[in-house]
Structure 1
């Protein structure tokens, strides 16, 4: 379930949005929901399509980090990392006006043993939030969607005063990360300008 607060006025625009709508701060959140909830993984999950996605939530244009682990034609796996950075309109290309908002993606090939280490670390990380927990967009959290053996598993961890440290699996993931940009852990909404981009909640399945 997706609960949206503060962006009702823009919902009517979604049906007529053109490619590149993510350049609008309010509308780009709508396209982000499917990714965060792993709806594409869920729709295609079979015993032959193992995949994993881990997302670190933060301020949309500076803190978001997305990892996708997918099989290749060989026994290897591809780990893709997407990191969003501060939007730079000077990089605009008339052929792709949404490019500056899409983030930077880097990829590397990892072995089956690396995938097993990631999965083992995930399974060993304690205290994921309960199903039905609301994840506010102005909080730091991890949400992981995995298709394993034809079944979908979704887990999430909130970072707050009771859990200020990154979950244990993050160290394993970061050791394989081809992008060395550090994870930011400052508050998501630092000022009123940030809040104007809207707040929403995602409910953990």
Structure 2
């Protein structure tokens, strides 16, 4: 008896179907971040909520004794983003989780059907701090303005370098931001502070002001649709971000 073989599904179509299902599920979740930033699908759907620290705000409101800090460095969104999560360990110390976009992020040569999201996953490391080390870290963060609020009206362009911080301390939320090329930039030393706590092995992308040559005006006129699509501009408002895409 002759048996007809079932049609063979192309691997790329299988991956596309999986991604479509995942994106649909994430869209249904309302794009509010609640964890899993290392997953590229979650990161894509909830990035602006993560930057604004929506999850930290919720925890700070419900747990007034909580201590938590998130630092995000945007070297250039298409080249490098780094984040640092600093959380109390419940014994007076803290855990610092560093994440960084590898230089070959999105390299299709690393694609594996067994782990289709591997090409978009960031490098990660964790460091544990003693109570004395945590106290020293908190003091240095305070000196850089992490426990102060940013003035309204700071434009943060994805094609330029900036730091964003969101902190919960003593029941209060503090949002701050610094963009390269501004007077406020020299008031912070965040990279110098977190560098000894970063074991990701990813080199630091040197900061630069947002350049017109990298703006969507240029990328669109040059026909680079993909580059133009991933530009975004945010502005600081009342203790947070406004104008989110």
TM-score, normalising length: structure 2: 0.64
Check conservation: 1:37, 1:145, Cα contact below 8 A: yes
RMSD over aligned CA atoms reads 3.3
- What is the aligned partner in structure 1 of residue 233 from structure 2? 201
Instruction: State the distance in 1 between where 2:193 and 2:39 align.
Output: 34
Instruction: State the distance in 1 between where 2:134 and 2:187 align.
Output: 19
Instruction: State the distance in 1 between where 2:22 and 2:196 align.
Output: 41
Q: Relative contact order: is structure 1 or structure 2 higher (C-alpha 8 Å, sep ≥ 6)?
A: 1
Check conservation: 1:141, 1:158, Cα contact below 8 A: yes
CA separation of 1:176 and 1:167: change in aligned 2, threshold 3 A? same
- From 149, 160, 165, give the equivalent of 1:144: 165
CA separation of 1:152 and 1:48: change in aligned 2, threshold 3 A? same
Check conservation: 2:23, 2:45, Cα contact below 8 A: no
CA separation of 1:166 and 1:150: change in aligned 2, threshold 3 A? closer
Check conservation: 1:60, 1:84, Cα contact below 8 A: no
Check conservation: 1:146, 1:153, Cα contact below 8 A: yes
Is structure 2 residue 49 aligned with structure 1 residue 34?
yes
Check conservation: 2:65, 2:169, Cα contact below 8 A: no
Q: CA shift at 1:73, angstroms?
A: 4.3
CA separation of 1:83 and 1:35: change in aligned 2, threshold 3 A? same
- What is the aligned partner in structure 1 of residue 58 from structure 2? 43
Is structure 2 residue 198 aligned with structure 1 residue 177?
yes
Is structure 2 residue 189 aligned with structure 1 residue 157?
no
Q: CA shift at 1:64, angstroms?
A: 0.4
Instruction: State the distance in 2 between where 1:117 and 1:35 align.
Output: 26
When structure 1 is superposed on structure 2, of 48-57 and 182-191 the one drifting more is 182-191
Please say which structure displays the higher CA radius of gyration: 2
Check conservation: 1:61, 1:101, Cα contact below 8 A: no
- From 122, 125, 129, give the equivalent of 1:103: 122
Q: CA shift at 1:71, angstroms?
A: 1.9
- What is the aligned partner in structure 2 of residue 92 from structure 1? 111
- What is the aligned partner in structure 1 of residue 85 from structure 2? 68
TM-score, normalising length: structure 1: 0.75
Gaps of 5+ in 2: 1-19, 27-37, 241-245
Gaps of 5+ in 1: 1-12
How many matched pairs? 190
When structure 1 is superposed on structure 2, of 186-195 and 31-40 the one drifting more is 186-195
Instruction: State the distance in 2 between where 1:48 and 1:14 align.
Output: 39
- Larger relative strand fraction: 1
Instruction: State the distance in 1 between where 2:233 and 2:52 align.
Output: 12
Check conservation: 1:76, 1:111, Cα contact below 8 A: yes
